[in-house]
């Protein structure tokens, strides 16, 4: 089926959405979007009243562009002559309309959805690699990139709008993919971006403090994640892979089992369907452990460094087994997958100390990263980090305390301050550092902070530059400019070598 061939009429769409149809409904729809700039002949436009922009402002413009119909929570304006579908919830309608117009592509793929506070991106990369190791062409939607086979484009957001996702999945099918893997963020789930998708496997990595500016409480945060598993998005997943070393994961597993759902558990602390034991971690050799699965046990070595990655490997392995990948193919994929950019990524240089760039931007992620660093070095741990502005403020002091208690040297700097005063953010981080009682430096300029860390390093030290990972920009106020922690570290290393 070509995405350019109308196969759904507006009348049929109205019936499927339980919408009130005003105007003629015989026209065909080839696309659906909430972005007026994407509208062309045959596109259905969903007018969403957002927090900053009201899509109804663009109705006249999209009609001029050839929109086939408007979907809205409001009544059609007086004397409006084009097709108008009144629905109860525009975001839900966007997701359902996208699935219908694109022919439910998720039903034809082994779709794996991954949610959790930490580890989503690396687990997605791993699941993609394990499918490819089995010679199954795969697609993935991640925080870093959207990829179909070898073709990639930078990601716009962690989880795209439902229309973009369904369009992507249809393209993946047309390019002969049989597997797709996607991150499902809690906000995206809450905003109905994952509605009407059929997940063959849903994965829960963990739940720790983050996004409480949006969800307000951990219970609400958990409830948003839970929707991926309990059928509130549409169909329940074929099976659920859950990390039961996490307390919220244990609760989710217990709840789903009580409801008669298929649950596959993972652990590196005790008994589970998939488990890891004898874990050894090395900056040079990566991570080695004994992998136990229902399909058998294997000794595996991964180039990924750190115990947190063992959880990611277990989750990806469980998902791969659920879609029929052979265990030996899985092991081969584990041994070659280098993971996602900016996730405990080593900046190569000729010195006798390590420089690591990591995306850790929550207190739990920072703790795991610093624990890994301490496990790997006989020298000092030098930590450079900040916190993002206009985001969850409750994690700032805890991140300061964690940095202080798990580092020998701490340099507090800016992350993406956005519309907040960088010094105010730093002040809130300092409250946690003071609890830890660890001396620290404040260098608001991130480039200067990285340069300072590199200048302080001696043999066997590990520098952790945390918070931004793969990001190649910094946002200050309304300005977004190029900045990459890895590039800044290389510049500092080059200056050190020249001095």
The 3-state DSSP class for residue 230 equals coil
pLDDT of residue 178: 98
Q: What length does the chain have? A: 499
Could you give the dihedral angle defined by the CA atoms of residues 485, 490, 491 and 495, in that order, rounded to the nearest 10 degrees?
140
Q: Which domains does the chain have, with CATH numbers?
A: 8-101 (3.40.1390.10), 105-336 (3.40.1190.10), 345-498 (3.90.190.20)
> What mean pLDDT do residues 48-67 have?
93
Residue 208 token pair: 């720790």
Q: Which one, of 30, 27, 83, 93, lies nearest residue 59 by Cα?
A: 83
pLDDT of residue 241: 98
Report the share of the chain in percent with pLDDT over 90: 91
pLDDT of residue 158: 85
pLDDT of residue 279 exceeding 70 = yes
> What mean pLDDT do residues 150-177 have?
95
Res. 1 pLDDT band, cuts 50 70 90: very low
Whole-angstrom distance, CA of residue 470 vs CA of residue 488 = 13
pLDDT of residue 3 exceeding 80 = no
List pLDDT tens digits, range 231-257.
999 999 999 999 999 999 999 999 999
Q: Which one, of 231, 294, 230, 243, lies nearest residue 270 by Cα?
A: 243
pLDDT of residue 2: 39
Res. 156 pLDDT band, cuts 50 70 90: confident
pLDDT of residue 211: 55
pLDDT of residue 212 exceeding 70 = no
Long-range contacts (CB closer than 8 Å, 24 or more residues apart) made by 322-326: 322/200, 322/201, 322/238, 322/239, 322/241, 322/264, 323/110, 323/112, 323/131, 323/179, 323/200, 323/201, 324/110, 325/130, 325/131, 325/133, 325/134, 325/136, 326/134, 326/295
> What mean pLDDT do residues 373-386 have?
96
pLDDT of residue 478 exceeding 60 = yes
pLDDT of residue 213: 65
Lowest mean pLDDT among 1-10, 28-37, 394-403: 1-10
> What mean pLDDT do residues 437-451 have?
96
pLDDT of residue 116 exceeding 60 = yes
Give the number of C-alpha atoms closer than 13 A to the C-alpha of residue 131, restricted to the C-beta side.
26
Q: What does pLDDT average to over the chain?
A: 95
Contact 46, 58 (CB under 8 A): no
pLDDT of residue 249: 98
> What mean pLDDT do residues 458-472 have?
96
Residue 379 token pair: 């020298």
Q: Of all helices (H) and strands (E), which one includes residue 391?
A: none
Rg of the chain taking only CA atoms, in angstroms: 24
Q: Which one, of 287, 310, 340, lies nearest residue 206 by Cα?
A: 310
> What mean pLDDT do residues 422-447 have?
97
Lowest mean pLDDT among 79-88, 294-303, 318-327: 79-88
Angle between helix 90-101 and 162-174 (nearest 10): 10
Q: Which one, of 388, 243, 236, 377, lies nearest residue 312 by Cα?
A: 243
List pLDDT tens digits, range 20-45.
999 989 999 999 999 999 999 999 99
> What mean pLDDT do residues 171-193 have?
96
Contact 41, 66 (CB under 8 A): yes
Q: Of all helices (H) and strands (E), which one includes residue 383?
A: strand 381-385
Contact 466, 450 (CB under 8 A): no
Res. 50 pLDDT band, cuts 50 70 90: confident
Report the share of the chain in percent with pLDDT over 70: 97
> What mean pLDDT do residues 450-456 have?
98
0.85 cut: is pTM over it? yes
For 7-63, the DSSP string reads -EEHHHHHHHTTPEEES----EESEEES-GGG--TTEEEE--B-SS-BGGGGHHHHH
């Amino acid at each position: 089926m070509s995405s350019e061939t109308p196969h759904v009429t507006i009348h049929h769409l109205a019936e499927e959405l339980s919408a009130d149809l005003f105007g003629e409904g015989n026209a065909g729809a080839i696309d659906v979007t909430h972005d007026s700039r994407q509208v062309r002949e045959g596109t259905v436009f969903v007018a969403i009243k957002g927090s900053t922009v009201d899509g109804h402002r663009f109705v006249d413009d999209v009609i001029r562009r050839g929109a086939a119909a408007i979907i809205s929570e409001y009544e059609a304006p007086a004397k409006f002559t084009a097709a108008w579908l009144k629905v109860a919830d525009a975001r839900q309608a966007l997701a359902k309309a996208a699935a219908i117009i694109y022919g439910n592509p998720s039903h034809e793929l082994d779709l794996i959805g991954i949610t959790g506070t930490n580890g989503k991106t690396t687990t997605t990369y791993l699941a993609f690699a394990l499918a490819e190791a089995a010679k199954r062409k795969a697609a993935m939607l991640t925080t870093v990139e959207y990829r179909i086979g070898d073709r990639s484009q930078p990601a716009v957001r962690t989880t795209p709008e439902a229309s973009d996702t369904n369009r992507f999945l249809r393209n993946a099918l047309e390019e002969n993919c049989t597997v797709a893997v996607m991150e499902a963020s809690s906000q995206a789930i809450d905003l109905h971006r994952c509605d009407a998708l059929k997940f063959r496997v849903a994965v829960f990595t963990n739940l720790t403090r983050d996004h409480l500016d949006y969800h307000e409480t951990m219970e609400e945060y958990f409830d948003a994640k839970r929707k991926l598993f309990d059928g509130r998005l549409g169909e329940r997943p074929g099976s659920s892979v859950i990390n039961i070393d996490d307390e919220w994961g244990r609760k989710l597993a217990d709840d789903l089992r009580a409801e008669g759902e298929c649950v596959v558990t993972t652990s590196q602390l005790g008994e589970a369907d998939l488990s890891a034991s004898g874990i050894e971690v090395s900056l040079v050799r990566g991570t080695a452990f004994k992998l136990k699965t229902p399909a058998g046990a294997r000794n595996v070595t991964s180039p990924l460094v750190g115990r947190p990655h063992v959880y990611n490997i277990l989750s990806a392995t469980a998902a791969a087994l659920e879609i029929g990948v052979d265990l030996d193919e899985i092991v081969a994929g584990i041994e070659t997958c280098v993971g996602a950019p900016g996730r405990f990524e080593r900046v190569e240089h000729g010195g006798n100390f390590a420089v690591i760039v990591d995306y850790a931007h929550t207190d739990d992620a920072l703790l795991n990263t610093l624990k890994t660093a301490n496990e790997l070095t006989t020298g000092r741990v030098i930590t450079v980090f900040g916190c993002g502005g206009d985001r969850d403020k409750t994690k700032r002091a805890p991140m300061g305390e964690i940095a202080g208690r798990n580092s020998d040297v701490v340099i507090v700097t800016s992350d993406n301050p956005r519309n907040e005063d960088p010094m105010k953010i730093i002040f809130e981080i300092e409250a946690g550092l003071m609890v830890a009682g660890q001396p620290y430096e404040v260098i608001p300029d991130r480039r200067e902070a990285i340069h300072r860390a590199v200048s302080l390093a001696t043999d066997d030290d590990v520098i952790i530059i945390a918070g931004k990972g793969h990001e190649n920009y910094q946002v200050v106020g309304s300005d977004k400019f190029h900045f990459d922690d890895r590039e800044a570290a290389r510049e500092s290393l080059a200056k050190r070598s020249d001095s």
